[in-house]
Amino acid sequence: MNSEIWDLLEKCAESAVTCVNTYATEIPVHTLPFNSVTSINRSWTNDYISRAHLNIIDARTTKKLWMMHLCIFPSHTNNSPIFGFDVIAGANKVTGLFLDVSPGSAGANHLVSSQYYSLVKNTSVSKERVLPEWAKNIFSDRIIAAGNIQNIAEVSLLIHLMLKVLNQYLTSIQMFNNTELSETVIKKHNFYCHNQKQNPKTPAVLKKLGFSDNELEYFSENVLFPQI
């Protein structure tokens, strides 16, 4: 399973965990009932984070595939945006990489969104992914959406950028607790989750990895994007 890309992404996941651990407290989660893949499932929370969630699916030995999902929702009285990072990679290329700080209840002009825009404004990717309608409903217009990345330097640059965005995000959102009514924040969070679950590519990939229909439903509704 030698792969420079996989090695980089494993280190990326380790660095992300270290970063989140600095700010939030890890909470116990249920072991995932999947037999076809190795899955890492971890969650954190604190006063200004309702849920920080990391999931890694490692199917390198069977399908030559490695996937990472990291999503952070502010607390229910915090009007900050939502952090999201997803990557799927084979041994020789990253087939998809997505990084965004998606507008929360305060909209796209939030300070945390502006900080994100400043960090990514000079970033370009070799091949942009075209976003479908469900994604346009929730993501910012500064999302990093890349595909077919075979250049290891580009992968490294995007990982470094993600970690900078993550640290800035976690540093800043703590300033915005008690800035919004909980029902408004929850409505926005549920809208985000609902649209994420319209993505047909996620169940298609998981189906190829051996997930049953029941496992797919459980994974989508209870692991990746649980609505409140």
Per the model's pLDDT, the better-predicted residue between 206 and 167 turns out to be 167
Which pTM does this prediction carry? 0.96
What was the pLDDT predicted at 86?
98
Binning pLDDT at 50, 70 and 90, where does residue 216 land? confident
* Averaged pLDDT for residues 220-226: 90
Q: Can you give the pLDDT at residue 176?
A: 97
The pLDDT, as a whole number, for residue 153 is 96
Q: In what side-by-side order are the strands of the sheet with 82-89?
A: 25-27, 38-46, 49-59, 65-74, 82-89, 94-102, 144-146
> How many other C-beta atoms can be found within 10 angstroms of the C-beta atom of residue 95?
16
Judge whether residue 78 has pLDDT over 70.
Answer: yes
Q: Provide mean pLDDT across the span 50-78.
A: 95
pLDDT at 1 over 80: no
pLDDT of the residue at 34:
67
Q: How many domains does the chain have?
A: 1
Assess whether pLDDT exceeds 80 at residue 46.
Answer: yes
Return the pLDDT at 57. Answer: 93
Mean predicted lDDT score pLDDT of the chain: 94
Containing structural domain, residue 183: 4-224
Percent of residues, the chain, with pLDDT higher than 70: 97
pLDDT level of residue 32 (50, 70, 90 thresholds): low
CATH code of 206's domain: 3.40.1500.20
| Residue pLDDT, tens place only, 104-144 | 999 999 999 999 999 999 999 999 999 999 999 999 999 99
Instruction: Please check the confidence at residue 76 and state whether its pLDDT lies above 90.
Output: yes
Judge whether residue 37 has pLDDT over 80.
Answer: no
pLDDT of residue 213: 87
Higher pLDDT, 214 or 25: 25
The proportion of the chain whose per-residue pLDDT surpasses 90, expressed as a percent, equals: 84
Range name among 73-77, 93-97, 146-150, 204-208 with the lowest pLDDT average = 204-208
